[in-house]
Structure formats: structure tokens, C-alpha cells
Amino acid sequence: MKKQIQHFNHSALSLIEHIGLLVIAIATVFAMSSEVINMLNSKAVMLTDLLLLFLYLEVVAMIQRYYTSGKLPVRFPLYIGIVALARYLILDMKAMDEWRMIAVTSSILLLALAILLIRYGHVRFPYLSDESAPGMDKSETTH
């Protein structure tokens, strides 16, 4: 009986997870196509538009990576954070005071350092098995 309940709980949570990922994927594709339509209507492409499209692509890549490997590297959200902060910096640079600009660029630097630290940790101190290495390829565990 206990195993049946555990199996049901696992199946239910897995279904909720897959539905959530599907909703995120559909919403991302919708937002991406909406942005492309806006660019076509305005007949102009700005750097901030391209960065926004990269944000959407990174979300799609995260979902795809999860579906292919069942794992999600923590670096992906950090990449999204860097691109989002860069977009914010470019978009609102004229309205920012110096301290806010320093804070945003420091945040970008901090996220980049976090990615380097995580990557260094994966290379220098690899997991013992692929099963215990969430979201890593074999190439990420070699020296």
C-alpha cells in the first residue's frame, strides 16, 4: 500500500511538473512571437529586442535540456539573470544614476563570478557518478 501511494505521489508530481514546463514553454513561445511581431510592425530591431529574444531562447533551452537529460544545471538561470541585467542596463541607462549603474554592473559581475565558481567546482571536484551530478554532461566532469 505504501509503495502504491509513493508511486501515485511520484506520478502526480511528475505530471504537475510536465504540465508546468509545457505552460512555460507555450508562454515563452507566445512572448517570443509577440516580440517578433512588434519588431516587424515597428520595422526596427533594437539591441534590447535581441537581448529579450536571447532571454526567451535561454528559457526554451532550459526546458529542452530538462526534457533531454532530466536535469537542469544551475548555471542556466544565472545566464538568464546576466542577460536580463544587461538588457535592463542598456534599456534604462540614460535614466539611471551612477550608483544604480554600478549596482547593476556589479550584479552582472557577481553572477559571472558565480558561474565561474560553479564551473570550477564541477571541474576541480567532480561528482562521483553521473546520477549524482544534477544537469551535468560527462564533458563537465573531466579535467
pLDDT over 70 percentage in the chain: 90
- For 59-68, the pLDDT digits (tens) are 999 999 988 8
Whether the pTM exceeds 0.95: the reply is: no
What pLDDT band is residue 23 in, cutting at 50, 70 and 90?
Answer: very high
Domain of residue 129 covers 2-140
Q: What is the DSSP string of 37-98?
A: HHHHHHT---HHHHHHHHHHHHHHHHHHHHHHHS---THHHHHHHHHHHHHHHHHHGGG--H
What is the total count of domains within the chain?
Answer: 1
- For 74-128, the pLDDT digits (tens) are 888 999 999 999 999 998 888 899 999 999 999 999 999 999 999 999 898 888 7
